[in-house]
Amino acid sequence: MKRFAGAKVVVTGASRGLGRAIADAFADEGAEVFVGYRTRAADADEVVTAVRARGGVATAFAVDLRDAADVERAFTALLAQAGRIDVLVNNAGTSRDGLFPLQDEEAWNDVIATNLLGTVRCCRAAVRTMWRDRRGIIVNVASIGALLASPGLTSYAASKGAILAFTRTLAAELAPKGIRVNAVVPGLLATGMVTRLDARVVAEREKRIPAGRLGSAEEVASTVLFLASADASYVIGQALVVDGGMTL
pLDDT at res. 195: 66
Whether pLDDT at 235 is above 90: yes
pLDDT tens string 69-78: 999 999 999 9
Angle subtended at Cα 159 by Cα 157 and Cα 163, rounded to the nearest 5 degrees: 115
Query: Residue 132 class from Cβ within 10 Å (0-12 exposed, 13-18 middle, 19+ buried)?
Result: exposed
Average the pLDDT over 47-69 and give the result.
97
Q: For residue 215, what is the DSSP state?
A: B
156 has catalytic annotation: yes
pLDDT tens string 113-147: 999 999 999 999 999 999 999 999 999 999 999 99
Is 87 in a helix, a strand, or coil? Answer: strand
Whether pLDDT at 165 is above 80: yes
Q: Which of 156, 132, 134, 133 is nearest to 146 (CA)?
A: 156
Q: How far apart are CA 111 and CA 104, in angstroms?
A: 12
- Ordered by where they begin, the domains of the chain are 8-241 (3.40.50.720)
Is 28 in a helix, a strand, or coil? Answer: helix
Whether pLDDT at 200 is above 80: no
Q: Which of 51-55, 153-157, 175-179, 189-193 has the lowest mean pLDDT?
A: 189-193
The structure's pTM equals: 0.94
Q: What is the number of other CB atoms lying within 10 angstroms of the CB of residue 240?
A: 18
pLDDT at res. 193: 67
Catalytic annotation, pick one of 156, 171, 183, 232: 156
